[in-house]
Amino acid sequence: MIKDVIADILNKKSFQPQREAGEAFAPTNIALIKYWGKRDHQLNLPVTNSLSLTLSELGAKTKIRLTPASNKDVIFLNGDAVSEDSTFYQRTSAFLNAFREHENSHFTIETQANIPVSAGLASSACGMAALVKALDSLFDWQLSTEQLSVLARLGSGSACRSLWPGFVEWHAGTLENGLDSHGQPLSHQWPALRLGILMISESQKPVSTREAMKRAPMTSYLYKKWPNQVETDLNALKTAIEEKNFTLFGTTSENNALLMHAIMEDSTPSVNYSLPETLQLRQKVWHCRSQGLPVFFTQDAGPNLKLLFLEKDQKAVETLFPEIKIIAPFANQEVAIEPA
């Protein structure tokens, strides 16, 4: 099925390299309205739309070339050869099966990532997005960004949002083959917005999102509430972005993340990505808010928190959370849109 969908997109384009190597960078993205639950597990088709913020400075740079003499794919991550037994290797190699001219065409892939892998920082999102962009360059397909988004989604759902900067909505789509399920950038920017990463642990997640997302719709009572709540949250978040209403923005994002984590816990077997430090930091954020500092958090499939706040509060946030890594998601675009 994946091969058929890819064949549809590529429309007989060739698997003959047009240059020695294809190379591309893709940024990571953090969902503010989360993707949780699939209507098709093979094609990574979501139950609902989701909305993310791209972190332009963080991501993965991937170089790919064909290595005809090799009898297997060879993958390097940050300079080290990746073991064939690892999930990362197996997923990447399985995804590449759809792009081989012959069964024995093999690739060498070199990826440099400036975020930890598999710790809920959307490393698979930027990894898969960089990989499809690198393939597009190697074979010179010249696909549209929407087509690349569909390809990236087939590798890892959230990757389809990593093709654009700023706010990106992933439309769930309705087609069975998922060709209408891809990202779309929002026109609004918010230069004063800041996202701060609080790293608690870089270790890999105990349960893959793939597995956890299977459990939720089948076993969680709370999941019944999810599709309607996501629709409400998406509308609220878009209004907040348009009106630059930070309280609405932060409250909606934080509540959406908390409902997703409640659903995970409510699944059988229960899934919990938090550590004791995660809960302490959540409480610290709530305490700061009760003292008048407008700071909110979101959390993905890992223990680490991402804080949301505005530029005017950056100093206060840095003082209270000295270990924070702060990103200005719209900084590069501000430069880009300045008149020459």
CB of 156 to ligand PMV, least distance (A): 5
Query: Considering the rule CB under 6 A, would residue 157 count as an interface residue with ligand PMV?
Result: yes
CA dihedral 133, 138, 141, 146 (to 10 degrees): 0
Q: Which stretch binds ligand PMV (CB under 6 A): 9-17, 19-27, 109-117, 156-164?
A: 156-164
Query: Considering the rule CB under 6 A, would residue 301 count as an interface residue with ligand PMV?
Result: yes
Binder among 137, 156, 162, 278 for ligand PMV (CB under 6 A): 156
Cα dist from 110 to 37, 121, 130, whole Å: 31, 20, 11
Alpha helices in 40-155 (DSSP H): 87-96, 123-139, 145-155
Contacts of 158 (CB under 8 A, 6+ apart): 29, 31, 35, 50, 52, 122, 124, 125, 170
* 174 burial level (CB within 10 Å; 0-12, 13-18, 19+): exposed
Query: Considering the rule CB under 6 A, would residue 300 count as an interface residue with ligand PMV?
Result: yes
CB of 77 to ligand PMV, least distance (A): 17
The answer to whether the Cα torsion of 282, 158, 169, 232 is positive or negative is: negative
Convert residues 34-53 into a mask of x (bound to ligand PMV by CB under 6 A) and - (unbound): xx--------------x---
Query: Please, which residue, 209 or 252, has the CB nearer to ligand PMV?
Result: 209
Query: Please, which residue, 17 or 329, has the CB nearer to ligand PMV?
Result: 329
Query: Considering the rule CB under 6 A, would residue 124 count as an interface residue with ligand PMV?
Result: yes
Q: From its phi and psi, is residue 14 left (phi > 0), alpha (psi between -120 and 50) or beta?
A: beta
User: What DSSP state is assigned to residue 73?
Assistant: -
CA angle 296, 278, 112 (to 5 degrees): 90
Query: Considering the rule CB under 6 A, would residue 150 count as an interface residue with ligand PMV?
Result: no
Query: Considering the rule CB under 6 A, would residue 216 count as an interface residue with ligand PMV?
Result: no
Convert residues 57-96 into a mask of x (bound to ligand PMV by CB under 6 A) and - (unbound): ----------------------------------------
Binding site for ligand PMV (CB under 6 A): 31, 34-35, 50, 124, 156-158, 209, 300-301
